[in-house]
Structure 1
Amino acid sequence: MIARPIIGAAVAALAIATAIPARAHGPGDDVTPHFEQAIPNIPGKTLTAMIVDYPPGGVSAPHSHADSSFIFVYVLSGDIESKANDGPTQVYRAGESWHEPPAANHLVNRNASKTKPAKLLAVFVADSDEKALTTPIE
């Protein structure tokens, strides 16, 4: 029954994609769902991972994160400029990481380079019933 795992993967990908409103991200980024799994020893929590690709000069729109979501971010390639809440604006290079607390306002998130692409991995631990992991800041 090869169809069952394929259908399950498709449903999981759709669930992740719908949890991230497209308008919370700008034309300067491309968000790809990578992984989603309920955490078996923490009932009611889910681990979700996304890859965010930025072209040269690419920018994410300012957004807030779900009230329950703790986020770990790892720069896979390039340089990412980021600012959450009242923290400083910082540039993180490939191999560096940071975290964001629940309900963070992500005010700056962009490729620090105008000439090279950048890529990051964002890992969320959030309540399983959270419908949107990001919401645009109007």
Structure 2
Amino acid sequence: MPPRHDLHIPRQKHTRRLPSLRAWIGAGVMLFAAQAVLAHDASGETIQPVLKQAVPEAVGKNVLIATVTFAPGQTSDPHMHPGSIFAYVTRGHIESQLEGAPPRTYGPGEAWYEPPGAHHILARNASATEPAQIVVFAIAGEHDPIKKPIPK
């Protein structure tokens, strides 16, 4: 059946709804908070939080997602994580070593797991000329940091 051209379909006015003042203030607060949590670790790698979310099926636990960027040749200080860590390399090559295990170099698309409390004695960018980046997925208590120094 051919289309009918005699039908009159009124055109709707396109109205653009502007965000409310509350939305603008909320966005400003979130932007400020995001900038406030951008952290340069004491050893120099850049940790950029992406998401922190409570996990209903694990009361008192949060999932934390962050990107960690290493400058060429940069090494992180030995550290540990209070919760489980899953790390995924998105750029470059990272040499990583947990206490009691041999060092291993991971490239783009590779990942590793660190159990809670494991001592991460080596984390460094394997390249002296190119930056490297990982995405970290952490499960931790509500007030736990994503990483902390190894106790002496």
Q: TM-score, normalised by structure 2?
A: 0.75
Instruction: Quote the offset at 1:106 in angstroms.
Output: 0.7
SS of 1:4's partner is helix
User: Where in structure 2 are the equivalents of 1:1-138 lying within 5 Å?
Assistant: 1-2=22-23, 3-7=25-29, 10-11=32-33, 14=36, 17=37, 22-23=41-42, 26-27=43-44, 29-66=45-82, 69-130=83-144, 132-137=145-150
> RMSD between aligned alpha carbons?
2.2
Alpha-carbon offset, residue 21 of structure 1: 8.8
Structure exhibiting the larger radius of gyration computed from Cα positions = 2
Cα separation, partners in 2 of 1:64 and 1:50, compared to 1, 3 Å: same
Q: Give the deviation of 1:84 after TM superposition.
A: 1.3
TM-score of the superposed pair, with normalisation by structure 1: 0.82
The Cα shift of 1:128 comes to 1.4
For the residues of structure 2 that align with 1:49 and 1:133, how far apart are their CA atoms? 9
Runs (4+) of structure 1 exceeding 4 A deviation are: 8-14
Unaligned runs of 5+ in 1: none
Q: How much has 1:133 moved relative to structure 2?
A: 2.6
User: Post-superposition shift, 1:115?
Assistant: 1.3
Question: In structure 1, what is the Cα distance between the partners aligned to 2:78 and 2:119?
Answer: 8
Cα distance in structure 2, aligned partners of 1:40 and 1:118: 33
**C-alpha distance in 2, partners of 1:22/1:54?**
10
- Report SS of the residue matched to 2:109: coil
The residue type paired with residue 113 of structure 1 is S
Flag the structure with more relative contact order, 1 or 2, with Cα contacts below 8 A and sequence separation at least 6.
1
Q: Which has the higher strand share?
A: 1
Contact 2:64 2:146 in 1 (8 A): no
